[in-house]
Structure 1
Amino acid sequence: MTDNSTGRRTTAGGVLGAATVAMGLIAGVFYIFACDVMPSLARSDDRVFIEVMQNINDVIQNPVFFLSFMGALALTAISAWQARNSPYRWWVFAALAAYTLAFLFTVVVNIPLNNDLANAGDPAKIADPAAVREKFEDTWVAWNVVRALLSTLALVCLARALLLHGRYGRYGRSGRSYASAYLESAAGSSASR
């Protein structure tokens, strides 16, 4: 393996690792909404539910979240490009496909629902908060579960690709260690004794 290809492998491994971390963060966000935030809010009355969700949707629009949300997609796409000729490429492609769907569902379903909820105005002044909540809650929760499952699938695929990247880095496609050729040639020399 040449120094140039080693450098590319190191860069590809770094990007793949960063994509895996970003995906884990996003999968965790969707997961915590699915198993804690939304079930907890389900116990609240309509005005409290609307107020808290409006606050959550406002606060989550911050640079740290956007870095993870957009970064998971961008880093996975870059990693897919870098892995296009690798033996683990299908794992990265699968991760990209799964997260692209989660990203699209967010843009097409969840964000418009968030915007509708924000446009409902001050919860204390909403004439029929139950109707506003009913229009939002079940659809948002269902699609969030889909996002959680897809981003978790993407995380699993990236983790598998990262594992294989590490394995192929040591052994190459043939399964034979790159270092073994050096060690074998040195084994008979007096320098190795």
Structure 2
Amino acid sequence: MGERLISVLVLMSALGSGLVGGIFFAFSTFVLGALARLPAPQGIAAMQSINIVVINPLFMAAFMGTAVLCIIVAAGALFGWAGPHPTLVVAGAVLYLVGNIVVTMTGNVPLNNALAAVDPASAEGAAIWARYVPDWNIWNHARTATGLAAAACFIVAWRWPAAT
């Protein structure tokens, strides 16, 4: 791969990581907090709706497309195509893949599935909601931090000149 192409892919990885981290930041700092202030049935119903609507082409392109880019640029870094800072490129890719993809699949999605299975107006729903909000947000804080840290790694790798 040419150096120019890898440079563009690293920049795109930075933009995708930052965008996804920013989406998770919004949830961590105000969206879930606003839902938690609602009566449990309303908060549950709203989050159930969000969990359905989020599976759309634009979000999935950003979320999973960035994962694909991370795999490509990490492979490029490991095979010597990544420019002067391959360690930062690999670090950014690992941060995004583990902190966003793996955490989502092992932390947030199981909680979302449990919430999807309850009647918002039920006592079971209220009990799950009481645990869901803090547990989900802990995982989401991790996704926020790792998405933004990945973006920072990619930006520094992309812009930091090589030592001469």
Whether these two folds match at TM > 0.5 is yes
Counterparts of 1:86-165 in structure 2, within 5 Å, are 86-102=83-99, 103-121=101-119, 123-124=120-121, 126-164=122-160
Residue number among 41, 52, 67 corresponding to 1:47 in the alignment = 41
CA RMSD of aligned residues (A): 1.6
Residue number among 61, 64, 69 corresponding to 1:67 in the alignment = 61
**What is the letter of the counterpart of residue 89 of structure 1?**
P
Cα deviation for residue 87 of structure 1 reads 2.3
Report if aligned partners of 1:12, 1:83 keep a CA contact under 8 Å in 2.
no
Question: What TM-score does the superposition give when structure 2 sets the normalisation length?
Answer: 0.90
Alpha-carbon separation, structure 2, partners of 1:40 and 1:160: 35
Report if aligned partners of 1:23, 1:72 keep a CA contact under 8 Å in 2.
yes
Counterparts of 1:159-174 in structure 2, within 5 Å, are 159-164=155-160, 167-168=161-162, 174=164
What are structure 1's unaligned runs of at least 5 residues?
1-6, 175-193
Alignment match, 1:20 = 14
Alpha-carbon separation, structure 1, partners of 2:146 and 2:14: 14
SS where residue 13 of structure 2 aligns? helix
Cα deviation for residue 162 of structure 1 reads 1.2
Question: What TM-score does the superposition give when structure 1 sets the normalisation length?
Answer: 0.77
Alpha-carbon separation, structure 1, partners of 2:131 and 2:76: 43
**What is the letter of the counterpart of residue 97 of structure 1?**
V
Report if aligned partners of 2:14, 2:154 keep a CA contact under 8 Å in 1.
yes
Cα deviation for residue 40 of structure 1 reads 1.3
